[in-house]
Structure 1
Amino acid sequence: MLQDTIKTQLKAYLADLAHPVVLEASLDSSPKSREMHELLHEVAALSDRVQVSEQGEATRRPSFVIRRDGAKTGVTFAAIPMGHEFTSFVLALLQAGGHPPKFTDDQIAQIRALPGHYNFETYVSLSCQNCPDVVQALNAMSVINPNIHNVTIDGGLFQDEVTARNIMSVPQVYLNGELFDTGRMDITQILARLDANAPKRAAEQLRNVAPFDVLIIGSGPAGASAAIYAARKGLRTGLVGERFGGQVMDTEGIENFISVKETEGPKLAAALEAHVRQYDVEIIPAQRAAELFPAVKPGGLHGVALESGAILHSRTVILATGAHWRHLGVPGEEEYRNRGVAYCPHCDGPFYKGKRVAVAGGGNSGVEAAIDLAGIVAHVTLLQRGSHLKADKVLQDKLHSLPNVTVLTEALTTRVEGNGRNVTGLTYRGGDGADHHVDLEGVFVQIGLLPNTDWLKGTVRLNDFGEIVVDDHGATSVPGVFAAGDATTTPYKQIVIAIGDGAKAALSAFDYLIRVPVAEEKRVPA
């Protein structure tokens, strides 16, 4: 089942187990149980510290628990953890065997101090690149705190549960039987949900942070690049971001990042973070900027207020806040979000197997989504509001070769229809000016991006699309404030361009700092 190269790597990892580990399986006579049996025994054969027990009593079958020998609880997979979840499986093995999770000391203490009992159920699909972050965080928490338990459930393996809970988007997490959240979350975001005092403590910790030379808002490719270039100049550098990688984390395959033939978004995001952490950069994670207070005069201190209530100060600021998926903005979209309206075909496509779906958007993202979905669903209707598709010709040729795809141009989506529970159809206005209806069970929205700049209105100059207006040095309309990446007027929203933009903004900030005298420091009052 496992390739020889993977077995060799896994055997090396398992050599580091400090404690014996038991893989306790609950199986039946189904083909999937036989498949799980094969996987677990292959893994156990790689280390004398791993053994398999088939005496599990779980009601979900097939499933298995990874637990330290002698322990009563462990990490549970109601899944055959291949695909994107194989790394989650390996990490759970190592952590159950004594390998410490990569959490900060504060995070570990916070996890141990959580009161009460937490029973998480995390529904995933094995093709979902967003799911492992959630699974790995919850699994590690359950290793640290015995009152926390997480079971990872492959939605494709337990269709009855998926149907009963009306799950049409992953990752979807239940806590003690109630919906906890949907979508990608990291450990900081999960703890903020569980610990009501976490934001207040975070703000307190930031209250007395000394002013920076360069403060970067955003930790995507542009922000990471700016941080590295600023730190290499010896500048006191701060980096504020909700999650490393930004949109990159939601990107399945990347094949146009120069010098890297192909990679995946989460892998590139992890590489960006690792590179930044090699330098003296003060990283302020899981924070969102709320307001910018420009310096009163050049050389003075700018203030950036965070949603947590903290205010940071810096002589220069680099805005690298990126963008987010544009929504249709039509009736029914929000009502049926995650109940038939989706934004990630890779994550949620498997839940529409054999169904009829639509893709809104005729650019590269929309056409790629339609091609991917055509291999899973019964039929795809692609709607493009303009007179022609905007995707690359090679993608259009592939799309038109597929027998279960219908392309509608001059088709403006006006309403998502539903029955109160799920999506049942879509209404669009055609080139003839009339409304037309399509019966379907899912709508995938792929109509471009909007810059994350609402919080900047009234401070820096924005264009009609909300993009930050920058000159050829990345300077904004406010002296000492620079911007980079997808949030700006720089054309062509590409990873490689954002990285170059970030470097340019950092070099421009350095040039500003060495040329503009330091003005009297004046902090924005907290």
Structure 2
Amino acid sequence: MLDDTLKSQLKAYLEYVTRPVEIIATLDESAGARDMLALLQEVEALSDKVSLRTDGESERKPSFEITNPGTHTGLIFAGNPMGHEFSSLVLALLQVGGHPSKEAESLQQQIKNLQGNYHFETYYSITCHNCPDVIQALNLMTILNPNITHTAIDGALFQDEIEAKQIMGVPAVFLNGESFGQGRMELAEIVAKLDSNAASDVVDELNAKAPFDVLIVGGGPAGAAAGVYAARKGIRTGIVAERFGGQVLDTLEIENYISVLTTDGPRFARDLESHVRSYDVDIMNLQKVSALVPAKTEGGLIEVHTESGAVLKSRTVILSTGAHWRSMNVPGEQEYRTKGVTYCPHCDGPLFKGKDVAVIGGGNSGVEAAIDLAGVVKSVTLLEFSDKMRADEVLQHKLNSLPNVKVILNAQTTEVTGAEGKVNGLNYQDRTTNTAHHLALEGIFVQIGLLPNTSFLQGTVELTEPMHEIAIDRYGKTSVPGVFAAGDCTNVPYKQIIIAAGEGAKAALSAFDYLIRTSAPQ
């Protein structure tokens, strides 16, 4: 199961284990169980502190619990945690084995203090790059609090459960048998949903903060670069973000960031955050900004309001709010979101194994999605609004070589159809003949570009028409004194990570120049 490189890496990690770890496997005669046993035997052989039993009595077969001898943590993997989930297996072994978590002590104590019994189940796929963060967060909670248990379930291995619960998007989290959440969630976000007092405590903490010299809204590449460049000037710098990393977290492969040959989005986001945290930057995560209030006088304090009710103040603000996937805006799309309509082929593709699906969009993202899905699903129909594809020629050539892919040009999707709570097809209009058509499908992957996250700025900062991007000059200045902007939320052309990072650095330098030329408020 593990190649020599992975074995070597895992063996080195297991040297950090300080107390005995016991793996209790519950197996059957399936091929999945044989693969699981082979994996666990390899893990056991790499450390004298890890032992394996095969007399488990878990409700799911095959599965295994990672615990300590004589106890039950309730930390269970129902499936082989390979692919993106291998890191979850490694962390579980380390943390059960006594290696401390890097999460803030205050957050860990908050988890330990949670009252009540919580049994979490997370359905994942090994190709999902959003799943590990959720699984690792819930595993840590299981280790810290004996009243919390967690089972991570490979949807491809337990298809009957996927069908019964009509799960068409991962990660899908259930708490005590009821739906708890879907999609990427951070540890603090999960804890906040369980601890009713957490939100008000955070608001009080944010309101008590002293004014910043530079406050950056958004934690993607532009925001991270702005944070580093501002902090290096020795000025008081803060970043308020809905999720640090931004849209990068939803990106699978990155191969065009100069000096980095290849990486993936979540790893790149972690590197961004690590770099920012190496400086004196106040990062306020999981906070969505709802309003910007300009200063009343030149050089005065600008207010940034959050949806949670907090108000932050700063002499300058850099808006780097990024963008989000564009919706089709047709009947049925929102109704069947996560019930067949999805926006992440890498995460959710395995859930549609052997099924007929459609990809909406003929750009690079759409064609790459169709190529990836073709190896998993029964058939892919790609619908492009225009009369020609917009993807790179090399991608189109690859797409056209696949036998189970069909391309329809001049197709305008008009409705998502469904029955019994899930997608069963879509309607589209041929723009050449104006004739209506129906495709019978079980999944629709939307890949039609991005829209800037600027709705909260309407009437405050000048936005372009019709895209509503923030209008900036060559220094990153907006129409509001002291407010700058950078990245995909602006009218700068070519939405690329490397361009966003450069724009973020430029905005920080411009903000610093503004500060040294403007008197501080008295």
TM-score when normalising by structure 1: 0.98
Alignment partner, residue 509 of structure 2: 507
Question: Aligned to 2:99, what secondary structure does the other structure show?
Answer: coil
Alignment partner, residue 291 of structure 1: 291
How far apart are the structure 2 equivalents of 1:249 and 1:305? 24
How far apart are the structure 2 equivalents of 1:472 and 1:375? 45
Q: CA deviation at 1:437?
A: 0.9
Structure 1 unaligned segments of length 5 or more: list them. 521-526
How far apart are the structure 2 equivalents of 1:140 and 1:267? 20
How far apart are the structure 2 equivalents of 1:62 and 1:161? 14
- Deviation string for 1:447-500 (max 9, x for gaps)? 111111111111101112111111111100001000000111011111001000
* AA in 2 matched with 1:3: D
- The aligned runs of 1:118-517 (5 Å cut-off) are 118-431=118-431, 432-464=433-465, 465-517=467-519
Q: Percent identity?
A: 60
- Deviation string for 1:399-424 (max 9, x for gaps)? 11211111111111000011132211
Question: Aligned to 2:515, what secondary structure does the other structure show?
Answer: helix
- Deviation string for 1:377-403 (max 9, x for gaps)? 111111111111111111111111211
Q: CA deviation at 1:519?
A: 3.6
- Deviation string for 1:209-267 (max 9, x for gaps)? 11100000000100000000000011100011122211111111111111111111011
Q: CA deviation at 1:313?
A: 0.5
Give the root-mean-square deviation of aligned CA atoms.
0.9
Q: CA deviation at 1:9?
A: 1.6
How far apart are the structure 2 equivalents of 1:300 and 1:444? 47
Q: CA deviation at 1:351?
A: 1.0
Q: CA deviation at 1:517?
A: 2.0
Alignment partner, residue 100 of structure 1: 100
More off after superposition, 379-388 vs 133-142: 379-388
- Deviation string for 1:349-400 (max 9, x for gaps)? 1111111111111111111111111111111111111111111111111111
How far apart are the structure 1 equivalents of 2:138 and 2:424? 34
Q: CA deviation at 1:294?
A: 0.4
C-alpha contact 2:32 2:79 (8 A) present in aligned 1: no
C-alpha contact 2:412 2:428 (8 A) present in aligned 1: yes
Aligned residues between the structures: 520
How far apart are the structure 2 equivalents of 1:344 and 1:146? 34
How far apart are the structure 2 equivalents of 1:518 and 1:30? 70
How far apart are the structure 1 equivalents of 2:76 and 2:246? 29
Alignment partner, residue 523 of structure 1: none
C-alpha contact 2:325 2:447 (8 A) present in aligned 1: yes
C-alpha contact 2:214 2:318 (8 A) present in aligned 1: yes
- Deviation string for 1:146-179 (max 9, x for gaps)? 1111000000111111111111110000000001
- Deviation string for 1:2-45 (max 9, x for gaps)? 11122122112111111100000001111211111111111111
Question: Aligned to 1:76, what secondary structure does the other structure show?
Answer: strand
- Deviation string for 1:84-137 (max 9, x for gaps)? 000000000000011122211211111111110000000000110010010000
How far apart are the structure 2 equivalents of 1:428 and 1:511? 53
C-alpha contact 2:23 2:53 (8 A) present in aligned 1: yes
How far apart are the structure 1 equivalents of 2:9 and 2:367? 37
Alignment partner, residue 90 of structure 1: 90
How far apart are the structure 1 equivalents of 2:341 and 2:230? 41
Alignment partner, residue 53 of structure 2: 53
TM-score when normalising by structure 2: 0.98
More off after superposition, 102-111 vs 174-183: 102-111
- Deviation string for 1:253-309 (max 9, x for gaps)? 111111111111011001001000100001111111111110112211101011111
More off after superposition, 475-484 vs 509-518: 509-518
